[in-house]
Structure 1
Amino acid sequence: MNTCRSLIICLLLALSYGGTLAADGQQPVKGQRIFYTGHSFHMFVPAMIEEMVKTMDLQGHKLAGKQGIGGSRVIQHWQLADDKNMAKQALMRGDVDVFTMAAHLQIPDEGITNFVQLGLEHNPSMRFLVQGSWYPFDLPAPEPGKPDPRIKDNAQRDGMKIADLQAAVDGWRTQLEAQVAGLNQKHGKTCVFIVPVGDAVVKLRAMVVAGEFPGITKQSALFRDPIGHGQGHVMALAAYCNFAAIYRISPVGHNAPERSISPEQHAILQKIAWDTVSNYPPAGVK
């Protein structure tokens, strides 16, 4: 009886708020004002999430803006001239609830530090998400004098070992975790989070290798070039991970607008994203 009463109360709250219930069923999900910055492994995410939220009833959701620079570190977004720097302008107006960044290989990145400082000055309750992407060319550059293990052709991905891919992502993410932990300690609260997209992409590749992802039999089919620009499945997976981190709810049932993906594949990608993000504490999804 108490359980039924609690469910009824939760539903009434959702209806009165006009929003979607959170994953724990305890409170409605509040729309967020989101500004995106990033590079080509991230800047397809805004359009996908905008389509996803149309399947929800979210009061207050807004695309506050986006700023993309190909191959960029976050510091390059920070160093844009003030009259062209839409990210800085939005933060100084206090118009942002969630601000995304996409890390590149060089960590720590002073741009992350600077944006967090500026954002909190104008909106102390802001959240900052840093996407930890999949590794460009699959593996790190070698030490001087050693053979280069990085792929030079997309087809070479079909022979890549999952353990090596995960080790590359782990090394990059560990550096990012150190910078994020330092920023949270500096500001005396947990306001900077990591979206573990790279880990999710490795899980997808592992499923392909194991023959467990329907319709795709080769790792190379997930990418467009040796650098690692994703085809539709990787792009949707990244969007699902970011959606889960932004709204702290499962993306299941909210499909990204990618026609190359079957309903069965969407469901698997959504599950990979939610399992990865919700089980990674630095993502901030309980």
Structure 2
Amino acid sequence: MKKGSMHIDWMISMGIFLMIFLAILLFFKPGSETAYQGDYLISLVESRLVKETYYAIERTPIAWDSGLPSKEFVEFGFNGNFPACDDDENNFGIVKPDFQYIDFKIDGLSCNSNQGDGKIWLRTSDLSGLSKFYVFYSDEIIYTNNNANIECRLTPGGPGQPQNCERMNNDDFKVGVNEIIKGLNSVKLTRKINDLDGNYTGTKTSWGYPQSKEFKICKDSFNNCKPGDDVKKIPDNANVFAKEIRMNALNKDTTLDTTRVEVLIIRAW
């Protein structure tokens, strides 16, 4: 009786062991490959591409209620509330409400405070008939400004250098709410797509894309895809997922370029 009982106990123990072993195989699936849905792969590429090719422009309105000075130039002074702070004046642009660029010069910009102290010099004639202008700033853009002939003299500078500038009183103008406009940078987009030929594996790693899966980004048509077939060719029997996306580029003046639509086709397998 005792021997039979031991035999039953052994069978029960072996049964429990086999059940646990099978459960481990079913749960962990040693040697199997993780299944990725096509939508997941496509959205992963799209989100990473947008993150690396979009850029931001800060847009700040400067408005006034009173009239403008009669001198050739006008000075707007800022005490700790300069729209943005950067030593490179080329990262700034100034436009009228219709987004027409106007010349300017920044003087004495100091970043010791939160946003900085500084002055903006403008031609009074450029502001004629207006009640506001916009200051643009982006550390990813070079704005071209013709400021060589803008020199504000609040007091005479000597013989032949009369006063040619008046300062707007701080109570006469207001700094509006700073907006951050984000959009596609076409230059960054083209550069990133072309980079896939030489840095495809590195891009997959930095984007967190599964190394066992592949993708291509086609610009305008299937005939212009990166990485090229010499780097990564789609197998004939591959189950390929695809999505077309259309994006308008963001111009330097924060308007969308409706004349240039970037058409991309993301292919993943």
Give TM-score, length-normalised by structure 2: 0.22
More strand by share: 2
Structure number with greater Rg is 2
In proportion to residue count, which structure has more helix?
1
TM-score by length of 1: 0.21
